[in-house]
Amino acid sequence: MASTSKKWVLGIVVLAFVVPLLKPIFPDAISDYRLFLVSTMIIASIAVLGLNLLTGFNGQFSLGHGAFYAVGAYTAAVLMDQLSVPYWATIPAAAIVCFIVGYLFGLPALKLEGHYLALATFALALAVPQILKYKWLEGLTGGVQGIVLNKPEVPFGLPLSEDQWLYYFCLVVMVILFWAAANMLNSRSGRAMMAIRDQYMAADTMGIDTALYKTVTFGISAAYTGIAGALSASAIAFVAPDSFNIFLSIKFLIGLVVGGIGSLTGSVIGGIFYVLVDNSAQALSQFVKNDLGLPFDLSAYTVFGVLLIAIIYLMPMGIAGGLFMAWRKIRGAR
Amino acid sequence: MKTSRRGFVGGASALAVFSGTTAAFSQKKYSDGASDTEIKIGHTGPYSGPASSYGQIGKTLEAYWKSVNDAGGVKGRKIKFLTLDDGYNPAKIVELTRQLVEQEKVLCLFNTLGTANNTAIHRYMNQKKVPQLYVATGASKWGKPKEFPWTMGFQPDYHTEGVVYAKHILANVKDPKIGVLMQNDDYGKDYWEGFKEGLGKESGKVVKHVTFEVTDPTVDSQIIQLKDSGANVFFNIATPKAAAQAIRKAADIGWKPVQYLNNVSASVGSVMKPAGLENSQGIITAQYLKDPTDKQWENTDDFKAWVAWMDKWMPGANKADANHVFGFAVASLMHETLKKCGDELTRENVMRQAANFQKYKLPLLLPGITINTSPTDFYPIQSVQLARFKGESWDLFGDVMSAEGS
């Protein structure tokens, strides 16, 4: 099982690297816009993975990962804008800053469990956009106006478009981060994380330093989401407080639940799902109204909500879980 | 994937329209987004999220183009108006704009809403050389043809309006001591910068300047501070909710300065009435559009036409909502711009025509205010008229004031 899934992953990664190179052959199917869209999916996947490490593998709740995403994005933006740091160097910087912020937030969060932790993180997500507008920080953050950035340029004179390059950059970061997460989860530390999730008391009795593991996991989770934020700053080439409203945190949560809690594949599916459905919901509601001529003025969020409910009912374990069950059924039937 | 489906449907409907028209023998030139049968225009606005009340503008625009198509389109070409929900989120608008420009290949973007949102796509639109026309924000940065030749604003910018108030205060109030209430964001600051510029050397006349956040529940303490400063002039830079609270609080604590209220909040229905009509008497503002709740316009031709249009194309919509007036006016300007383009529907020509309005009378603008643009003037409306609140409506006074070329 393990070896076949490894082959699958390798195959998909190779495919992801090769397909964009076919752009000159299929200019319509592989357009710059689509590559950009896939890049945003990759970024969303990384952010969802960050949340998954915390919630799925360590059992701590967060309704506020949008805050870490914002911190990552602003760290990258301020470094590029004020100190002219190249975009690739902002990724580790954002990771470090977000790890520290997440770790520090994790310390008091130790005392909070379940709903209370969810509420505390929710407050964090509400506060961060306001803090970014604060007048003492305005010199750095640009206040409500935000910061306009340059898109990453293609290095070494490679014959790629900006969007192709951005795609590869995001893809490489994603592969590294997922590889690191998979290794961590397969290690002693990963097992300790999951032990804390499954049986807190037992883990404590076994000699696991639960406080340390919980805070460090919080830090790592924040760092992952922060890296996603930094990538988004480069991709969008603009940051403003309004980009990081509370809905962003909810979006990560939706991606997490729909993709599959406690599953690496689920994180990828969650990221893809969100971007795809968010866009299709609008197109679908317009299609119903304009092209079919039905008298429904469905808002995009109505369509989105209906889809969400349907998925949760049909696949309570998320899409990753649902696919896995379906696969087992097919094999069982044979 | 969904785009290809939508593209297919669009293509099919374009084909259906095409069969019904005859080609004329004249010089025709097209950019992406325009053809013999169709003109594609892109738009994004907040249909969801914190600013969704502005979504009414997008709905008005959509209804407007529907009514144009119903009447035969623009020179026989149907308008395909693609409007998407950006939720007032700058990250989202970048993605949607790329969808509109690169996948749908629209001729231009029109009336995209929000200062931060338009900032997010400003550079992109100018790199791609796609018009970003008549944006729905009053920031002063949309009229810079040298750096950004593909972007143009619409309404009078906040900066200019601030200058107008300052000049009026210096000319009319004896020994002014000015208190300023300012919303702490880019919009507030734009007004404030213009106001200071208008005061010039007299900027010492401002005795107190207090700020608030748009999320603050009240502005009570700020108004008390302003009263205690001994100010006899009050400049109210606030969005509707806070503006109404400020007017009411000033009356409650017996502070009776000469009041100036920014145009953003000059709505009878959503500010003056909640603040109390008795508290609002004598307040001065600057206007450029006809206020739909103002009875004095009821018998003017363009207003009557608008009411009839609303009844036919937006039945059930709240006619007191000034967003409908705004949407109708700005769509009329876009309509006229397309008509002027004739058969040369290129992006270059759209910008050329947009920058070539002389004293054009747009429906629903105040009498005497016209559209004026040129290759160096990308501010279509730069005139306002002062008005004083009297009884239940605004009483216009003085001349139309222009700041052309500022």
**How big, in percent rounded to 5, are the helix, strand and coil portions of chain A?**
80, 0, 20
Instruction: Assess whether B55 and B86 both reside in one domain.
Output: yes
Considering Cα of A164, then A167, then A172, then A175, what sign does the dihedral take?
A: negative
Per-residue pLDDT tens digits for A4-55? 678 888 888 888 888 888 878 887 778 888 899 999 999 999 999 999 999 9
Give the one of A144, A245, A300 whose C-beta lies nearest to B89's C-beta: A245
Instruction: Test B184 with A32 for CB contact under 8 angstroms.
Output: no
Tokens of A166: 């951005």
Kindly state the percentage of chain A with pLDDT values over 90: 42
**Interface residue A161 vs chain B (CB under 8 A):** no
Quick one: B283 and B162 in the same domain?
yes
pLDDT at B47: 86
Residue B341 CA neighbour count, 13 Å, CB half = 29
Residue linked to tokens 């100190």: A83
Verify that B220 and B265 share a domain, yes or no.
yes
Among partner residues A32, A243, A299, which is closest to B48 by beta-carbon distance?
A299
| Predicted confidence (pLDDT) at residue B6 exceeds the cutoff of 50 | no
Token pair recorded at residue B244: 């109404």
Residue A291 with chain B: CB contacts under 8 Å:
6, 9, 13
Whether the predicted pLDDT of B14 surpasses 50: no
Mean pLDDT over residues A145-157, rounded? 84
Number of C-beta neighbours around residue B372 at 10 A: 18
Question: Would the CB atoms of B49 and A245 count as touching at under 8 Å?
Answer: yes
Q: Which of B265, B287, B309 is the last residue of a domain?
A: B287
Instruction: Provide the residue range defining the domain that includes B246.
Output: 158-287
Give the pLDDT confidence score for residue B9 in this predicted structure: 45
Q: Are strands B233-237 and B344-345 parallel, antiparallel or unpaired?
A: unpaired
Mean pLDDT, residues B73-82? 94
Tokens of A161: 């478009």
Nearest to B235 by CA among B276, B274, B277, B199: B199
Put simply, the chain B residues between 190 and 229 with a CB less than 8 A from any chain A CB are 213, 215
| Whole-number average pLDDT of chain A | 87
Chain position carrying tokens 């087992």: A328
In the listed set B287, B316, B333, which residue is the last one of a domain according to the structure?
Answer: B287
CA torsion angle B321 B60 B362 B399 (round to 10): 20
Between A33 and A226, name the one with better pLDDT.
A226
Chain B residues closer than 8 Å to A237 by CB: 94, 123-124
pLDDT tens, position by position, B334-384:
999 999 999 999 999 999 999 999 999 999 999 989 999 999 999 999 889
Residues A147, A135: Cα–Cα separation, whole Å = 15
Mean of the per-residue pLDDT values of chain B: 88
Q: Which of residues 7-66 of A touch B (CB under 8 A)?
A: 31-33, 36-37, 40
Distance to chain B for A251, nearest Cα, Å: 13
* Res. B240: pLDDT tops 90: no
Q: Do B309 and B325 belong to one domain?
A: yes
Cβ of residue A303 closer than 8 Å to a chain B Cβ: no
B391 domain residue, yes or no = no
pLDDT score of A260 more than 80: yes
- With vertex at residue A230, the alpha carbon angle to CA A224 and CA A231, rounded to the nearest 5 degrees, is 90
Residue B17 lies in a domain: no
Domain locations along chain A = 35-246
Q: Which of A121-135, B216-230, B302-316 has the lowest mean pLDDT?
A: A121-135
Considering A155-159, A215-219, A258-262, A317-321, the range whose residues carry the highest mean pLDDT is A215-219
Give, in order, the Cα–Cα distances in Å from B312 to each of A187, B292, B323. 68, 17, 17
B3 is a domain residue: no
Which residue shows structure tokens 């910068």?
A: B193
The per-residue pLDDT for A288 is 72
Cβ-proximal residues to B41 (8 Å cutoff; 6+ apart), any chain: B33, B65, B79, B80, B81, B82, B106, B107, B108, B109, B110, B334
Planar angle of CA A84, A85, A90, nearest 5 degrees? 140
For residue B26, the model assigns a pLDDT of 54
Region B116-132 average pLDDT: 93
Is B184 within 8 Å of A133 when comparing Cβ atoms? Answer: yes
User: Is B201 found in the same domain as B211?
Assistant: yes
Q: What's chain B's Rg over C-alpha atoms?
A: 22
Count of C-beta atoms within a 10 Å radius of residue B75: 14
Q: Is A279 in Cβ contact with B99 (below 8 Å)? A: yes
Residue that wins the pLDDT comparison between B39 and B293: B39
Q: Do B201 and B134 fall within a single domain?
A: no
| Res B353: pLDDT | 96
Tokens of A46: 């990384």
Which CATH number does the domain housing residue B334 bear? Answer: 3.40.50.2300
Strand B132-133 with B38-45, pairing: unpaired
Which residues on adjacent β-strands are paired with residue B383?
B402
pLDDT digit string, tens, across residues A116-144: 888 899 999 999 988 888 777 877 888 77
Question: Chain B contact for A199, CB < 8 A?
Answer: no
As a whole number, mean pLDDT of residues B19-23 equals: 42
Minimum Cα–Cα distance from B51: chain A residue: A242
Q: How confident is residue B192, by pLDDT bands cut at 50, 70 and 90? A: very high
Q: What's the rounded mean pLDDT across residues A307-322?
A: 86
3-state secondary structure A218-257: HHHHHHHHHHHHHHHHHHHCEECHHHHCHHHHHHHHHHHH
Distance CA B343, CA B91 (A): 36
Taking the C-alpha atoms of residue A48 and residue A177, their distance in angstroms, rounded to an integer, is 12
Section A313-333 average pLDDT: 84
- CA torsion sign for B291, B294, B299, B304 is positive
Residues B310 and B254 occupy one common structural domain: no
Examine the domain organization and report whether B152 and B168 are in the same domain: no
B140 and B32 in a single domain? The answer is yes
The answer to the question of residue B353 being in a domain is yes
Candidates A144, A164, A248, partner chain B, best to mutate (most B CBs within 10 A): A144
Average pLDDT over residues A1-6: 63
B123 within domain boundaries: yes
**Total structural domains in chain B?**
2
Claim to verify: residue B313 and residue B199 sit in the same structural domain: no
Residues in chain A with CB shorter than 8 Å from the CB of B1 are 280
pLDDT at B149: 96
Residues B150 and B169 reside in one and the same domain: no
**In b/e form, how buried is each residue of B25-62, taking b as 16+ CB within 10 angstroms?**
eeeeebbbbbbbbbbbbbbbbbbbbbbeebbbbbbbbb
What average pLDDT does the segment A81-108 reach?
A: 93
Structural domain contains residue B59: yes
* B280 and B190, same domain (yes or no): yes
For a pLDDT cut of 70, what percent of chain A falls above it? 96
Higher pLDDT, B12 or B161: B161
In a domain, B207, yes or no: yes
Is residue B361 included in any domain, yes or no? yes
Listed residues B227, B254, B287: the one ending a domain: B287
A234-256, pLDDT tens digit by residue?
A: 999 999 888 898 889 998 999 99
